[in-house]
């Protein structure tokens, strides 16, 4: 059993370690290590197209994560007020949204957006006074909407688990002291669930920033960092691609560790 577990971990993480190692390759061949050098990190950071794709990914990830944190928290609070049977149905729907393959979500989102745009754009053109009415199209908004809806389920599950652990005692005690529902939420409930909200935000940011499949379907003419990396790999893997992958890996691990620390710290405190 130990040998099997060791083999599985080596199989999973050895390729990642090789990517990190060859990102410091001095030569241009990504599969032949000729010496240590950090030149490819400098070239990656000075690449105009790469920086534009990175900026797009940061804007999309931050916006979608913020929306997911807000609406996911609202959904988690609302679920706690439902009956057990209805809550079980919604729990299953949120869990299904997490496990559904990204390609299915991407295709479904693309079809839905195209149908919606096909209805809204003619209506706008019919009532717009000018000759060039605005048109809804795939781009920033479509990626943010797709990522926000996908990661909202993740935030909802995290915050809901935290709310369930609080119990109704503190809320009822606050009501007995004549506190309004808004005051109870702002001064008692929100501080208790804030670490879980931040953890959900960070995880949603990581998922959105690293996503390729969903963004590939709904990005339109916009390019995110994963899409740029995919397009570059089709021309051949270079140490610059390895450097990009290493930086993304480190950033993602840091965000996940921070989210994990926030969740664990709150659990330990309670």
CATH class of the domain comprising 49-269: mainly alpha
Instruction: Pick the more confident residue, 177 or 19.
Output: 19
- pLDDT at 186 exceeding the cut of 60: yes
pLDDT at 31: 66
- pLDDT at 62 exceeding the cut of 60: yes
Provide the pLDDT confidence category of residue 8 given band limits of 50, 70 and 90: confident
- pLDDT at 117 exceeding the cut of 70: yes
The full set of domain ranges for the chain reads 49-269
- pLDDT at 222 exceeding the cut of 80: yes
The whole model's pTM is what?
Answer: 0.79
CB within 8 Å of 163: residues ≥ 6 apart:
76, 77, 80, 189, 193
- pLDDT at 264 exceeding the cut of 80: no
- pLDDT at 235 exceeding the cut of 80: no
pLDDT at 71: 92
Provide the pLDDT confidence category of residue 65 given band limits of 50, 70 and 90: very high
CB burial string 216-231: b at 16+ within 10 A, e below = bbbbeebbbbbbbbee
* Whole-angstrom distance, CA of residue 81 vs CA of residue 84: 9
How far is the CA of 134 from the CAs of 120, 143, 193, 221, 222, in angstroms?
Answer: 10, 19, 41, 17, 18
CA 51 to centroid of chain Cα atoms: 20
CB burial string 21-45: b at 16+ within 10 A, e below = ebbbbeeeebeeeeeeeeebbeebe
């Amino acid at each position: 059993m130990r040998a099997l577990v060791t083999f599985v971990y080596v199989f999973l993480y050895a390729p990642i370690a090789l990517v990190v190692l060859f990102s410091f390759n001095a030569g241009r061949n990504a599969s032949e290590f000729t010496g240590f050098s950090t030149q490819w990190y400098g070239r990656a950071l000075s690449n105009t197209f790469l920086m534009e794709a990175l900026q797009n990914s940061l804007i999309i990830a931050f916006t979608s994560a913020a929306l997911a944190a807000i609406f996911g928290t609202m959904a988690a609070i609302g679920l706690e007020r439902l009956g057990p049977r209805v809550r079980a149905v919604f729990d299953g729907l949120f869990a299904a949204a997490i496990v559904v393959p990204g390609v299915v979500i991407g295709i479904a989102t693309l079809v839905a957006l195209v149908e919606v745009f096909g209805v809204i754009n003619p209506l706008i053109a019919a009532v717009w006074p000018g000759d060039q009415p605005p048109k809804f199209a795939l781009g920033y908004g479509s990626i943010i909407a797709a990522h926000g809806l996908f990661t909202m389920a993740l935030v909802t599950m995290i915050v809901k688990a935290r709310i369930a652990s609080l119990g109704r005692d503190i809320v009822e005690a606050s009501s007995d002291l004549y506190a309004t529902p808004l005051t109870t939420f702002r001064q008692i409930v929100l501080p208790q669930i804030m670490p879980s909200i931040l953890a959900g935000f960070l995880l949603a940011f990581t998922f959105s920033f690293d996503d390729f499949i969903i963004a590939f379907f709904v990005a339109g003419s916009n390019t995110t960092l994963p899409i740029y990396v995919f397009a570059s790999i089709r021309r051949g893997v270079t140490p610059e691609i390895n450097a990009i992958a290493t930086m993304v890996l480190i950033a993602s691990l840091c965000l996940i560790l921070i989210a994990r620390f926030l969740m664990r710290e709150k659990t330990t405190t309670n």
